[in-house]
Amino acid sequence: MKRLFILSTLVIAACTPTYQTMSRADAVAACQAQADEAAQVVSGNASAGVNSLTGPSFGLGLSINLTPKPRAQTFDACMNELAANGQIVEGM
């Protein structure tokens, strides 16, 4: 009986997700970045590189967000999720 209890406790502990903890300032910065990204309508990137085997390479990317979300709504949802998961640690 004792073995069954220990085994079931280990299984539950192994299946429980662990979240990265962060200070409130780090949480605010992460949520602000997430809110800024969700509010963007158009974003893009460019890349260039050289490979000794294949030569030069270039790339362009364009992303169009057809359903941008309000920054405040996304920020609040992010902060609430981090707080609910216990990821924000005071005094870090």
Reported as a single tens digit per residue, the pLDDT across 46-66 is 899 998 888 999 998 888 878
Q: Does residue 92 sit within a domain?
A: no
The structural domain count of the chain equals: 1
What's the domain range around 73? 2-84
The per-residue pLDDT for 21 is 87
Contact 61, 46 (CB under 8 A): yes
The model's pTM is 0.57
* 86: its two tokens: 């216990």
How far apart are the C-alpha atoms of 90 and 72, rounded to whole Å? 23
Q: Does residue 32 sit within a domain?
A: yes
Contact 72, 6 (CB under 8 A): no
DSSP annotation of 69? -
Q: Does residue 19 sit within a domain?
A: yes
